[in-house]
Amino acid sequence: MSQVMNRDIEAGSPLLRDAESERAMLEDAAARVLARARAGGADAAEVSVSSSHGRNVTVRLGEIDVLEDARDRGVSVTVYINRASGSASTGDLGAESLERAVDQALAIARHTQPDPAGGLAPAELMASRIEDFDQWHPRELDMASLIERAKLIEQAGMDADARIENSEGASVSADAAIGIYANSHGFVGNGRSTRFGQSCVLVARDASGMQRDWDWDDQGRFEALADPGITGRKAAERAVRRLGARSAPSGRTPVLFDNSVALGLVRHLVGAVSGGNLYRRSSFLLDTVGKQLFPEWVRIDEEPHLPGGARSSSFDSEGVATRQQPLIEAGVLRRYVLGSYSARKLGLQTTGNAGGVRNLVFSPGTKNFEELVVEMGRGLVVTEVMGQGVNLVTGDYSRGASGFWVEDGRIAYPVEEITIAGNLGEMFSGLIAAGSDLETRRNIQVPSLLVDGMTVAGQA
């Protein structure tokens, strides 16, 4: 195999070898698009251009399952004519294809209706400095070394426990991406980042049946990835501990969301205070800036400039300068999450959140996970939720769940095929404690959260 690979795949990645000329090519494409838009009668225009290269290998039961080499480029353009907009995109950065995309966007803008809130973000809010947040750590990794790492991960998991009897495989990936955003204010911003990931999904079996679980890591630097053995063993441990799961007692109980599931609760908060849902009146948190949504000890900050942060950037997706700012302070909602469009719809200022939040950090508490279990005493630990049962219009929350039942401050047994239900507004105000176990590998960083008084339904 290595013979074939040496001749072909290892020819290498132009994006990694020569990121500067790739960036110059993308900037040139962006400039062509803006020029064509102006020439075609647009009052304003904006364009995003990206290029990425990824390699991903999956090994299953010691054999190669998938080797993937993914190279993508893309451009998307939005033009404005008398405040009417049109958008187009294409995956081909050839001159002809770019021109066609712009012409299509212009044709669409002649049919859409003028939108008083439409247009670019205000010129005076454009980021004036593009900083480097330590997100580019290129490393050419050949397929053979990715395969070897995936095998180590899986083998460590298979060896960890006799009850691990099957595998969905271990994967290792290396990705690099460069992006440009430019608009007719003259703003041109660029960003580039590398990401390295590994994961392992294992299947445990005993007399009670089969259970599957996984572990993962994701880092900007290859060297920062967890030891392969750790990822494999944790996947095994997580699958095995689910064996023998049964239903839980129905009724009202406290629920401890582990830090992976607690992230979802913060995402629902962000969704409900995002401009799009607010101006569409599709949120249970209309008119809540300055209101107490959480207990006083809760603080959530947006930190768009975190060094090495997964989504750190000096500018948002319409060029507006991002800034460090609180979202929740002393439990009170300080602001909404707005881009310029939704800000105009609401008669407010953009918060530099076009394209969403960058890095959010929920200030952790002082108790570790085990101490939170003790504090809960009796109730449910949730390690996984299923389904789309969250209604942001009303805040009603009803999800399938699995995890562990807790008695006397200790984990008693694994549970599955249960539901947890409540209302997000009450869940937020009913937060009892946050753990010290902040999950820092995601752009929204959240610790485990203990919530009072949800309804659990099961067959027991």
Partner 1 sequence: MLELATQSLLTPAGIDSGDIERALGRLVEGRIDLGDLYFQHRQNEGWSLEDGIVKSGSFSIDQGVGVRAISGTGTGFAYADAISMPALMQAAGNARAIARAGASGATAVTRPVHAPALYAADNPVEAADSASKVDLLRTIDAYTRSLDARITQVSVSLSCQHESILVAASDGTLAGDVRPLIRLDVRVIAEQGDRRESGNAGGGGRYALAGLMAPESWQKFADEAVRQALVNLEAVDAPAGFMKVVLGPGWPGVLLHEAIGHGLEGDFHRKGISAFSGRMGERIATEHCTVVDDGTLAERRGSLSIDDEGTPGARNVLIEDGRLTGLMQDKLNARAMGVAPTGNGRRESFAHLPLPRMTNTYMLPGEHAPEEIIASVDDGIYAVNFNGGQVDITSGKFVFVASEAYRIKNGKLGAPIKGATLIGNGPDVLTRVAMVGNDLELDSGVGVCGKEGQGVPVGVGQPTLRIDGLTVGGTQ
Footprint of partner 1 on 132-191 (CB under 8 A): 143, 166, 168
Q: Return the number of the residue (105 or 270) whose C-beta is nearest partner 1.
A: 105
Q: CA 9, CA 3: separation in Å to the nearest integer?
A: 10
Q: Identify residues 412-431 at the interface with partner 1 (CB under 8 A).
A: 416-423
- Residues making up the chain, counted from first to last: 460
Of 149-157, 242-250, 296-304, 364-372: span binding partner 1 (CB under 8 A): 242-250
Q: CA 50, CA 164: separation in Å to the nearest integer?
A: 41
Core vs surface per residue 262-298: b (16+ CB within 10 A) or e: bbbbbbbbbbbbbbebbbeebbbbeebeeeebbeeeb
CB of 129 to partner 1, least distance (A): 31
Per CB under 8 A, 82 contacts partner 1: no
CB of 57 to partner 1, least distance (A): 10
Q: Return the number of the residue (32 or 73) whose C-beta is nearest partner 1.
A: 73
374's tokens: 């003790």
Q: Identify residues 381-400 at the interface with partner 1 (CB under 8 A).
A: 386-389, 391, 393-394, 396, 398-400
Other residues' Cβ atoms within 10 Å of the Cβ of residue 14: 14
Q: Return the number of the residue (46 or 416) whose C-beta is nearest partner 1.
A: 416
CB of 96 to partner 1, least distance (A): 12
Interaxial angle between packed helices 19-39 and 95-109, expressed in degrees from 0 to 180 and rounded to the nearest 10: 40
Q: Return the number of the residue (245 or 300) whose C-beta is nearest partner 1.
A: 245
CB of 60 to partner 1, least distance (A): 7
Q: What is the DSSP string of 196-252?
A: EEEEEEEEEEETTEEEEEEEEEEESSGGGSPPHHHHHHHHHHHHHTTTT-B----EE
Q: CA 26, CA 15: separation in Å to the nearest integer?
A: 11
272 phi and psi angles, rounded to 5 deg: -75, -25
Q: CA 180, CA 20: separation in Å to the nearest integer?
A: 12
Q: Identify residues 194-223 at the interface with partner 1 (CB under 8 A).
A: 203, 209-212
Per CB under 8 A, 68 contacts partner 1: yes
CB of 428 to partner 1, least distance (A): 16
**Among 29, 46, 3, residue whose Cα is nearest residue 315:** 46
1's tokens: 């195999």
Q: Identify residues 22-61 at the interface with partner 1 (CB under 8 A).
A: 60
Pairing of strands 379-386, 251-257: parallel
Task: By CB under 8 A, name the one of 50, 87, 260, 440 that touches partner 1.
Answer: 87
Q: Return the number of the residue (197 or 308) whose C-beta is nearest partner 1.
A: 197
Q: Return the number of the residue (143 or 333) whose C-beta is nearest partner 1.
A: 143
Q: Return the number of the residue (115 or 134) whose C-beta is nearest partner 1.
A: 115
18-to-22, 24, 138, 172 alpha-carbon distances in Å: 7, 10, 10, 23
Task: By CB under 8 A, name the one of 65, 99, 161, 175 that touches partner 1.
Answer: 65
Task: Count interface residues toward partner 1 (CB under 8 A).
Answer: 83
Query: x/- binding map, residues 292-331, to partner 1, per CB under 8 A?
Result: ----------------------------------------
Q: What is the DSSP string of 373-424?
A: HHHH-SEEEEEEEES--B-TTT-EEEEEEEEEEEETTEEEEEEEEEEEEEEH
CB of 283 to partner 1, least distance (A): 9
Task: By CB under 8 A, name the one of 48, 85, 194, 199 that touches partner 1.
Answer: 85
Per CB under 8 A, 258 contacts partner 1: no
Q: Return the number of the residue (1 or 224) whose C-beta is nearest partner 1.
A: 1
118-to-37, 86, 208, 327, 340 alpha-carbon distances in Å: 17, 11, 58, 26, 9
Per CB under 8 A, 455 contacts partner 1: yes
Q: Return the number of the residue (68 or 131) whose C-beta is nearest partner 1.
A: 68
CB of 423 to partner 1, least distance (A): 8
Q: Return the number of the residue (52 or 135) whose C-beta is nearest partner 1.
A: 52
Q: Identify residues 89-128 at the interface with partner 1 (CB under 8 A).
A: 89-92, 94, 97, 100-101, 104-105, 107-109, 111-115, 118
Query: Burial, 17: exposed, middle or buried (Cβ in 10 Å; 0-12, 13-18, 19+)?
Result: exposed
